[in-house]
């Protein structure tokens, strides 16, 4: 499996350098003595498949988008498992379309995939988005103390975390005062 992960990394690097699929096939074959198909390279570069199948690869590394997702999950976003299907989901449903779109954008960066389709909820104003990732799901189950290195990595991460949290739980009063309320004991 490690060989495939190395090849995938090489494929992504070569594609970023504007190599053609055929050129990538030849270079990978020379380096690894293994011939990939152009379809495999296309799927890997478009994040449709990975060397481990269609699973979304998540490697925890500090970045603003991950900090935003942690902040949003601390608030309105939810983690759940679809029983029987082993689907580990990270989901957001809210009435603020801008918030759902920002979460969608952040999650797509974290999981290296295109933004997902938004759909309407039970009420006309409610909007949903959902991502599936066993690895990210397990990562987000940690307490905030364990997630601190990703939240406090730099000023951008701290700012993104607070934005995600306040997008979830924030409220601006008529006086202009910004407040937030959360009853979670995960702090």
Residues 97 and 6 in one domain: no
What is the predicted pLDDT for the residue at 46? 76
What CATH number does residue 110 fall under? Answer: 3.10.28.10
> Alpha carbon 100 to chain centroid distance?
13
The two three-digit tokens of residue 30, written as one number: 């020379």
Q: Is residue 181 part of a domain?
A: no
Model confidence band, residue 186 (pLDDT cutoffs 50, 70, 90): low
Domain count, the chain: 2
Q: What is the DSSP-derived secondary structure letter of residue 55?
A: P
Residues 144 and 86 in one domain: yes
Q: Is residue 155 part of a domain?
A: yes
Q: In terms of residue numbers, what domain contains 160?
A: 64-169
Residues 83 and 33 in one domain: no
CB contact at 8 A, 130 and 136: no
Residues 12 and 87 in one domain: no
The Cβ-side half-sphere exposure at 37, using a 13 Å CA radius, reads 4
Residues 73 and 164 in one domain: yes
Model confidence band, residue 134 (pLDDT cutoffs 50, 70, 90): confident
Mean pLDDT of the chain: 86
Residues 37 and 80 in one domain: no
pLDDT tens digit string along 59-99? 789 999 999 999 999 999 999 887 766 678 899 999 999 99
pTM of the model: 0.70
The two three-digit tokens of residue 104, written as one number: 């969608």
pLDDT tens digit string along 20-65? 999 999 998 898 888 888 888 888 787 666 666 555 668 789 999 9
């Amino acid at each position: 499996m490690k060989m495939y992960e190395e090849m995938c990394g090489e494929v992504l690097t070569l594609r970023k350098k504007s190599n053609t699929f055929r050129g990538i096939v030849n270079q990978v074959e020379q380096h690894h003595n293994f011939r990939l198909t152009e379809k495999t390279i296309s799927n890997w570069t478009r994040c449709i498949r990975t060397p481990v199948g269609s699973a979304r690869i998540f490697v925890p590394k500090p970045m603003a988008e991950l900090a935003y997702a942690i902040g949003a999950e601390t608030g309105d976003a939810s983690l759940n498992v679809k029983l029987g299907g082993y689907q580990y989901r990270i989901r957001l449903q809210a009435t603020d379309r801008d918030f759902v779109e920002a979460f969608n954008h952040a999650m797509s960066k974290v999981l290296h995939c295109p933004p997902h389709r938004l759909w309407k909820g039970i009420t006309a104003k409610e909007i949903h988005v959902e991502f599936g990732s066993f690895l990210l799901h397990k990562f987000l189950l940690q307490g905030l103390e364990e997630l601190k290195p990703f939240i406090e990595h730099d000023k951008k991460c701290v700012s993104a975390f607070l934005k995600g949290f306040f997008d979830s739980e924030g409220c601006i009063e008529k006086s202009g005062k910004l407040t937030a309320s959360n009853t979670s004991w995960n702090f």
